[in-house]
Amino acid sequence: MEEKWVIIFYAQGEAEAYIVKGKLESMGIPVILKQEAIGKIYGLTLDGLGEVKVLVPESHKEEAIKILEESK
């Protein structure tokens, strides 16, 4: 059975998303980034269009949230 992926963070643009992704992956947590195509094409960050969702496997959710909270 395939593991469910859950959203743990909403980044305001690709740069922030890749920073979060790198931080989590450096701690051994797999990450997927998802973004609406229109936001990616036009670089928009209006009403959620440029928003990037950071997802991790559900089994890593608590650990990932803790890492992000500690890095604030």
Nearest 10 degrees: CA dihedral of 64, 65, 68, 72? Answer: -160
| Residues 23-56: tens digit of each pLDDT | 999 999 999 999 876 655 555 555 556 789 999 9
Host H or E run for residue 69 = helix 61-70
Query: pLDDT above 90 covers what percent of the chain?
Result: 65
**72 pLDDT band (50/70/90 cuts)?**
confident
Task: Please give the sequence-ordered ranges of beta strands (E in DSSP) within the chain, or none if there are none.
Answer: 5-12, 32-35, 51-57
pTM: 0.82
CATH of domain 5-70: 3.30.70
Region 6-25 average pLDDT? 94
How much is the mean pLDDT over the chain?
Answer: 87
